[in-house]
Amino acid sequence: MQKLIVNGGKRLRGELKLQGCKNSSLPIMAGTILCGEECVLDNCPELTDIYSASRILNGLGCKCRFSDNRAVVNSADMNMTEIPEKLMREMRSSIIFMGAILGRTGECTVSMPGGCELGSRPIDMHISAMRKMGIDVKESYGKIICRAVSGKAHGAKISLPFPSVGATENIILCAVTADGETIINNSAREPEICDLCGFLRACGADIHGDGESRIVIKGKNKLHGCEYRIMPDRIAGATYLAMVASTGGEIILTDACVAEIEPFISVLEQTGCSISTYDDRIYLRSGSRLKAVRDRIRTMPHPGFPTDAQAVLMSALVNADGTSIFEENIFDCRYRHTSALIKMGADIQVLGKIAIVKGVPELHGANIEATDLRGGASMAVSALTAEGTSEISGISHIDRGYEKIENAVRLLGGDMQRV
């Protein structure tokens, strides 16, 4: 089992190109199934979750290969419609393949997806939407067996009870080649949804309204292959900004999706960091000690403050001057990183969905274990701020979302080794 050894207390300083986005690459890879031709995806991050998606595609009979952040997927010879349980369990996004396989073949067999343990993560909205689109869904011995009643999915009016990112993606993927028109009300507005729709439009799909809460899709008989560049990863961007801010450093983040990171930047600015943006660059300079954030930090669907950036911001605030208050509104178990931060000397009190973070003068290094992706990243942020050495285990969680995190940190002058 690999670990990260971090010697903290160094100011991070330098220029970093932001990696491609994990959470749009995954549904886009699923979307390649609908084309039946070759798709070339540039700026695709090389991450363990992306390799899982590639194993799913290859298992279905598609051909997927990677080199230098370019994924080439050819789905012409796809000949399977079932994803084995072992592959389903590797990540949450395995469920997104359901909509795409159904869109291509009218049938598929999956099982409950895996992914980070963030509390209960049901798929009821996905299933209910598929049923509205004419799919018969049965559960049998842990398998979810789906079949279009008339051989092909049809369009439907779907109102989501909550703007679920995954459910919105699954509906879009099933709808782009379905018969007729699909309308999604209360759809998720996350930038990754727009990236997926951008890719599908490049393949010939007819989609309007992405980025808003009503998406309209007119089903097309056939899509075609394309070459597409994946957007930058706003959550990895927030993580590196939090890291640099908490070490009192300075960074130019290039190839950054400035507008998409804005909800995070507007909160980070309250800590006293000076942040400016120019084209696709973000420049951040941090003072010696951050100030606590005076407004309650409420995680919300986009364009609210992202739940995926809650843990890394908390790490930047554990040794800020004053008290910051977090309210986690998306997942019911997303404070698992706090016990590691407390072990490093942080003063955090968790009361249900609220976390009260009283800034302490300094953190000390400790042996800690990552238990989920963003929680693991937050431990890396704190380890870089702490005095002394930290050893982070469980880093397979971090590798699911950050491309060679230790290289990025070393490029900025930090001391982080993988052993």
Q: How far is the CB of 336 from ligand EPZ (least distance, A)?
A: 12
Binding residue for ligand EPZ (CB under 6 A) from 199, 264, 331, 402?
Answer: 331
Q: How far is the CB of 53 from ligand EPZ (least distance, A)?
A: 10
Please give the structure tokens belonging to residue 105.
Answer: 């073949």
> Tokens 């879009």 map to which residue?
172
Binding residue for ligand EPZ (CB under 6 A) from 75, 93, 111, 177?
Answer: 93
Tell me, what amino acid is at 252? I
Crossing angle for the helix pair 22-31 and 48-59, to the nearest 10 degrees: 10
Binding residue for ligand EPZ (CB under 6 A) from 126, 152, 234, 337?
Answer: 126
Residue 397 in the binding site for ligand EPZ (CB under 6 A): no
Residue 191 in the binding site for ligand EPZ (CB under 6 A): no
Binding residue for ligand EPZ (CB under 6 A) from 233, 308, 399, 406?
Answer: 308
Residue 56 in the binding site for ligand EPZ (CB under 6 A): no
The DSSP annotation for 106-133 comes to: SEEEEE------SS----HHHHHHHHHT
Helix (H, G, I), strand (E, B) or coil at 230: coil
Nearest to 293 by CA among 263, 269, 262: 269
Q: Residue 195, CB half-sphere, CA atoms under 13 Å: how many?
A: 27
Residue 124 in the binding site for ligand EPZ (CB under 6 A): yes
**What are the C-alpha distances in Å from 48 to residues 22, 53, 95, 228?**
10, 9, 17, 21
In the chain, the N- to C-terminal Cα span, in Å, equals: 9
DSSP-assigned beta bridge partners for residue 5: 391, 417
- State the residue number with the nearest CB to ligand EPZ: 166
Q: In what order do the strands lie in the sheet with 250-254?
A: 13-17, 250-254, 281-285, 274-278
Q: Nearer to ligand EPZ by C-beta: 162 or 208?
A: 162
Catalytic residues, by residue number, are 116
Q: How far is the CB of 306 from ligand EPZ (least distance, A)?
A: 6
CA distance 206 to 318: 47
Nearest to 333 by CA among 371, 295, 366: 371
Check whether the bond before 27 is cis (ω within 30° of 0). Answer: no
Binding residue for ligand EPZ (CB under 6 A) from 166, 225, 232, 359?
Answer: 166
Q: How far is the CB of 196 from ligand EPZ (least distance, A)?
A: 10
- Cβ(69)–Cβ(44) below 8 Å: yes
Binding residue for ligand EPZ (CB under 6 A) from 121, 143, 201, 229?
Answer: 121
Scanning 100-108, 121-129, 199-207, 244-252 for contacts with ligand EPZ by CB under 6 A, the matching segment is: 121-129
Residue 164 in the binding site for ligand EPZ (CB under 6 A): yes
| Alpha helices in 146-233, H assignment, sequence order | 165-175, 191-202
What is the per-residue binding string for ligand EPZ in 232-251, x denoting contact by CB under 6 A? --------------------
What is the per-residue binding string for ligand EPZ in 263-302, x denoting contact by CB under 6 A? ----------------------------------------
CA distance 414 to 386: 12
Scanning 59-67, 118-126, 265-273, 342-350 for contacts with ligand EPZ by CB under 6 A, the matching segment is: 118-126
Scanning 69-77, 163-171, 193-201, 255-263 for contacts with ligand EPZ by CB under 6 A, the matching segment is: 163-171
Residue 162 in the binding site for ligand EPZ (CB under 6 A): yes
CA distance 101 to 82: 9
* Residues of this chain that bind ligand EPZ (CB under 6 A): 23, 26, 92-93, 116, 121-126, 162, 164-167, 188, 307-308, 330-331, 373-374, 401
